[in-house]
Every structure is written in C-alpha cells, then in structure tokens.
Structure 1
C-alpha cells in the first residue's frame, strides 16, 4: 500500500464524517489487498483495479458508517449484511465501528469463506459469516439489516422480514433507480414504512447514491 492510497482513504473518510485511526486505515487497506488477492482465483468483485476498489468499495461502504452510528447512538447493535459478497459493507462496518456485531450472509460458499478468513487475518471478533440463502437463515432478530447490491427493495424487505428485531429497521444503499423501487414497494407491501432517505456523496465516485431507511409498520 502506498502513502497516496492512505491519504486518499483518510481524506475521503474524513469528508464522510468518519475519521479513521491508523489501525483502521491499515485494516481497511489490508482488506482491500485480500480482496485483490482472492479475486485472482474467486470472483468476489468485478472491480479488478486496487485503486478503483478504494473508491468503489471502501469509500462507498464508509459512506453509511456515520448515518448508522447516528441511528444507533453508538450502542451495541446487531447488523446483518445481506448478499454481502466479499463483505461490503459488512467488513467495513466491523472495522470502523467495533460496537457493531456484524453478520454477513451470502448464498455463495466461497464468499462466506473469504469473510471468515478476513475476520481471522484482521482480528475482527465482531465479524461473522453465514453461508445461506437469506430466506432460509434462522437467527435472533437483527437491529439493522443492510444491503449494498442485493436486490430490489421489495425483495430485500420480503426475504429478510423474519430476521428483523421488533424495533429493528432496514438500511438499503441505492442508486438512481430508487424512485421506481419505492413506488413498487408501496404497491407491493404497504406494511413497510419509509422512515427517511439520505443522499450520499461518495468522494471520487461521481454516481448518484442514497440511503433508504425502512421498518415494518405497526
């Protein structure tokens, strides 16, 4: 890792309201390097350039840390990352917010194996992985269920509803298609309440991003 990469990541995180200490910087860049190494054998991500991973993976995932912490107030929180793939955003959350207990679930065994390896190599006791289809997963309720590139809002909420805690919520990272998905969700399931939408400005990404907060009504 170069000093320029450290500076890019540090400055980007600061602009997102998520300052990183040296240990977190080291772990995030080591995680990026693990993705790049495993990607040579396993298809963890379509992004192959390690420099692009800084923006498209690490900073994009870091964008939700501050909103999530504002929601939880820094309290111990169980988070489920659905369709986590190579651990985005779950691994980034585990590194930057140690008060979170993060479980990453993916239907592809090699991706769950990779996340377990990341937890072991980077010393992340608050990070776990499950190899399962999310609709078949059976665990105590999660305070926050998040996804980055898993499915439409209808499928996301439908497939994970049995996993949400009584006072829990969904946190979906979305792009320009969010208006159509919200309209589809309102028609398909009026029992899902939209709590808030937050625009995200990811440094260097140049793409429209937002967070959508949802919860079961009633």
Structure 2
C-alpha cells in the first residue's frame, strides 16, 4: 500500500456562497430596473436641461455599474486557501527544493532606518532553507552611505547570527526582535554572549 502524501495546499468553497450569488442577482435586477427608469426619463424629458441632467446621471450610473460588475468576478465563487509549508520538507529533499530569491527594497534611510532593513535581510538569510538555494538582494534606490555601512557591519554579524540560529533552532530569526524578547535574557543558548 502506497503512503498517502500530505497536501501542500488546500482550497475550499466559502459556505456562504449562496448569499453572494443571491446578492449579485438581486443587485443586477435592481440595476436593470434603474436603467429602465433612466431610459424612460430620458425619453420623456421636457427640456434640454433635464435631458442633459438625466444623461449625465445615466452615464455616472453606467460607470458605477460597470465597476460593480467587474468586482463580482471575485465574489461569485470565493474560495479559502491554506498553505502547508511544513509538508514541503516531507515531500521534497533539500536538493529538490526550488531556488528562493528575496528582494528587499529601500530608498530613504530617514524613513526606513537601516537597522530595520538590515534586520529584514538577516531574517531572510536565516530562513530554515538550504543556504545554496536562497539569494537575498538589497536594492537601495537612495544610494545611502549609511545603509551601505549598516550592511557592511551586518555582514560581520551574519557570520555569527546565521549559524547561531540554525544550531539552536531559533524561531524568532529577526535579531532585533530576538534580543528585545525578555525570555532570551537568561542566556539559554550557547554563543549568545558572542552575538551581543
């Protein structure tokens, strides 16, 4: 008997799908009634001013109705999706995992402090993923020397941080969040003092 594989993702229909469809159908019928009323009003308008007024209102209603109709594609058949990332390891071995590219963009060191960008990059580099399969790219559109210096310092810290995370199975891989957590103040892991 062949072992059943665990799913990587699931999707199920929303149980209230009938309510969405009932709402869409009733709203569509109301729109048809509105446009029937507008067309009769256009034909019976006694003056040029009332004709232009009804024409502008009809055009506005047409635009809004078109926008509403375009959004109904998402609401007609809604599904709920769930991913099971933990089942990926059971299905694939490390050489079979796809390459992973992480892009981190920053522009202004005053609006996005370099320490936050560095923490994001270190968190991405410390993913529980084969090191040869992950690439982290940082795009500094502002060309800040401060951000460059922060990443030069972070490169030295990463030599200690990434092995520390992998050896001690650290769940919180963001250095700033890890050191801010009071539970880590008791030096539970080897090498913690070296990182400070």
TM-score of the two chains, using structure 2 as the length reference: 0.22
Q: Which one has a larger percent strand, Structure 1 or Structure 2?
A: 1
Larger Rg: 2
TM-score of the two chains, using structure 1 as the length reference: 0.20
Q: Which one has a larger percent helix, Structure 1 or Structure 2?
A: 2
Q: Which has the higher contact order (CA 8 A, sep 6+)?
A: 2
